[in-house]
Chain A
Amino acid sequence: MSAFQDARSLPKDTVLTPDLAIIGGGPAGITLALAMAQTGRSILLLESGAQTFEAPTQKLYEGAESGVPYIALDGGRLRFLGGSTNHWGGWCRPLDEIDFERRDALPHSGWPFARGEIEPYFARAQALVEAGPWIYDETGTTVSEKGPALRLGPGGVYTTWFQFSKTQGGTLPTHFGDRYLDDLKRAPHVTPLLNANVTGIRLSRDGTHVDHLDVATLSGNRLTVKPRCTVLAAGAIENARLLLASNDVMQAGVGNGNDLVGRFFADHPIPRNVATLVVFDGKLAPFYSNSQTTAEGAVMRAALSPHPEFLRTRGLAGSLTTVENPVKLDELGTAAVVTTAQALGVDASSARAFSLGCGMELAPDPERRITLGAERDALGVPVSNLHMTISDDDFAHFRQTLAELGRQLLTSKTGMIHLTYQQRHEWMAGMDWGNHHLGTTRMSADAKQGVVDADSKVHGIANLYVSGSSVFPTYGSSNPTLNLVALTLRLADKLKKVLA
């Protein structure tokens, strides 16, 4: 039985010597701690925050930004136990096989392994995020019970499915800090240490391994952790920031010999009202616009996804388009629908229109990056500086997918679509973000192409690993939580061997 400890109350200059130090008590850190709990190894889970939100700790996330407008760096994530699962929406979907492929048309794309490598971990990840039975396709009863899938002609877009992390004891969706609090307390050999901010990863003089971690509290206490092995699981922005700021031995920062740490940052842009979908007969199954509970107990919602082959042949990035709200057509829209439906010989007297939203995948961009700012936070760590980009190609890619959807609707005489945006400023005006921070410690078998190797170990550092979506080298358009939990479970299996 382990007990939570508070770093503020430990004696000054305490030195802790766990087998494994996990930096960050979000979904990756908690998953890893629980997965390693039965190994008999001592595990220290270092969480910057407390069990609940505290403004001074959250303020440590403040940073600077440049480039396209983006959410404030202390606004899209939460710094207390459970991390950003304390405000996630519970949307779950596994990455597609194509997300792992290297595609010539998408520079810097591809993982060092195929999806099959994390496939064995999806079931446990699904259980941890409490998204019900694994369905994610039309073999579930969702379709037959609630209505037919949207009839589309042959082409590049198909109906796919999200599942949702569900209500558990009044918590919607699963907040890892609350949900697994008791599991962490019960876990043998796991010590969650709250209010413990890692301010430096200190390497051995030869730079080959982590010697110790500097830990500080906002109350002024200082500790040292000397672990056998360290896993950085603090999110894509903090992972990069901490590696870059730990520059006493490696001047460019830990693991940054090839100037890759912090680069390739990504998120999922969520431009609103990207298109209008018109269904000629007005019949659209409810699972397109709202989540529905299936007989199996899964909460599911349909989305429209580009087929892998469509992405390959067109050289496009991924996207997931969702049906949002009913909308009223203007005079021109009505004229377009009437004229088209009559030409197709279809009755559109009951037609209904819906706005469409989406989550877009960004093409990997090394210039979209985290660097260190000149300012320092309350603990003396340089703040993050994010340079955010979206290329015109990113919008053009998604627009091609929407146009393909429109073409398929016409082919099947089911409906038609109106594309809302053409100009960049129009896309940006309706822009929201998923707060899915990705890519800053990207994975590659080649140290010149990635910060971590296929085992999530930092290239060139013997005992430093990274977990979470910061290692995603290509992002896909699926929400990251389920996938990063699966990837973390895979890392746990690797570490069990390393620490055996």
Chain B
Amino acid sequence: MKRRGILIGLAVAVAGAASGAAWQLRLFGKHYPRTPYDDLLAQITDREPAILFGRTAMGSFPAADILAADLRRDGRTLAARAASEPAASHVQEVSGWLVPQSVAQYAALAAQVTPPAAR
């Protein structure tokens, strides 16, 4: 009984460590290649829908370098921008969806810099 208990405990510990490592290394999550814009892209909570949405917005924005430079200019986060833009009428229509301008910009950036294979 004692030996069996030790084995079970060991198995649980190994499983826990493995899942912890997998979580740490994002083995089961979506992988995206590193980009020069990861500081911005990291602000997007869930990049998959943003990419999908951003694909329809890409045509409205300049290339990634220029877009990213614009988004970094005042150091404000996506959350801060999105919360304040509608009141200032900084909204953008993307395929009929009316969104804060920064949401369209970040989504477009995500779509621009994510290669098709990663989508």
Chain A residues in the interface with B (C-beta under 8 A): 153-154, 331-336, 338-340, 342-345, 403, 406-408, 410-411, 413, 416-420, 422
Contact between A407 and B98 (Cβ–Cβ < 8 Å)?
yes
A332 in contact with B100 given A339-B44, A342-B45, A411-B87 (CB within 8 Å): no
Contact between A343 and B102 (Cβ–Cβ < 8 Å)?
yes
Contact of A332 among B79, B86, B95 (CB under 8 A): B95
Beta-carbon contacts under 8 Å, B35-92 to A: 44-46, 48-50, 52-53, 56, 78-79, 82-83, 85-87, 89, 91
A406 in contact with B46 given A340-B100, A344-B82, A416-B98 (CB within 8 Å): no
* Closest A residue by C-beta to B106: A343
Contact of A333 among B91, B97, B102, B107 (CB under 8 A): B97
Chain B residues in the interface with A (C-beta under 8 A): 44-46, 48-50, 52-53, 56, 78-79, 82-83, 85-87, 89, 91, 93-100, 102-103, 106-107
Complex interface: chain A residues within 8 A of B106 (CB) = 343
A419 in contact with B91 given A331-B52, A339-B44 (CB within 8 Å): no
Complex Cα gap A410–B82 (Å): 9
Q: A153-B86, A410-B86 are in contact. List 10 more A-B contacts (CB 8 A).
A: A339-B53, A339-B103, A339-B107, A340-B100, A342-B44, A345-B83, A407-B91, A408-B86, A410-B85, A416-B97
Contact between A418 and B82 (Cβ–Cβ < 8 Å)?
no
Shortest beta-carbon distance from B36 to chain A in Å: 21
Shortest beta-carbon distance from A355 to chain B in Å: 13
Complex Cα gap A407–B85 (Å): 9
List 10 contacting pairs A-B, 8 Å CB cutoff, sorted by A. Answer: A336-B94, A343-B78, A343-B102, A344-B82, A406-B98, A410-B91, A416-B98, A418-B96, A419-B93, A420-B96
Contact between B99 and A345 (Cβ–Cβ < 8 Å)?
no
Contact of A340 among B82, B87, B93 (CB under 8 A): B82
Complex Cα gap A22–B53 (Å): 61
Complex Cα gap A408–B82 (Å): 13
Contact between A344 and B98 (Cβ–Cβ < 8 Å)?
no
* Closest B residue by C-beta to A399: B93
Shortest beta-carbon distance from A408 to chain B in Å: 8
Contact between B93 and A403 (Cβ–Cβ < 8 Å)?
yes
Complex Cα gap A403–B93 (Å): 9
Contact between B50 and A419 (Cβ–Cβ < 8 Å)?
no
Complex interface: chain A residues within 8 A of B53 (CB) = 332, 335-336, 339
A418 in contact with B87 given A335-B53, A338-B49, A339-B107 (CB within 8 Å): no
Complex interface: chain A residues within 8 A of B49 (CB) = 334-336, 338-339
Complex Cα gap A463–B103 (Å): 65
Contact of B99 among A336, A413, A420 (CB under 8 A): A336
Complex Cα gap A342–B43 (Å): 10
* Closest B residue by C-beta to A344: B82
Contact between A335 and B52 (Cβ–Cβ < 8 Å)?
yes
Complex Cα gap A340–B87 (Å): 15
Complex Cα gap A344–B52 (Å): 18
Complex Cα gap A417–B98 (Å): 6
Shortest beta-carbon distance from B76 to chain A in Å: 12
Contact of A343 among B48, B82, B87, B91 (CB under 8 A): B82
Contact between A336 and B45 (Cβ–Cβ < 8 Å)?
no
Contact between A407 and B86 (Cβ–Cβ < 8 Å)?
yes
A411 in contact with B102 given A331-B52, A336-B94, A339-B53 (CB within 8 Å): no
Complex Cα gap A403–B56 (Å): 19
Complex Cα gap A408–B88 (Å): 10
Complex Cα gap A406–B89 (Å): 10
* Closest A residue by C-beta to B45: A342
Shortest beta-carbon distance from A220 to chain B in Å: 59
Contact between B99 and A410 (Cβ–Cβ < 8 Å)?
yes
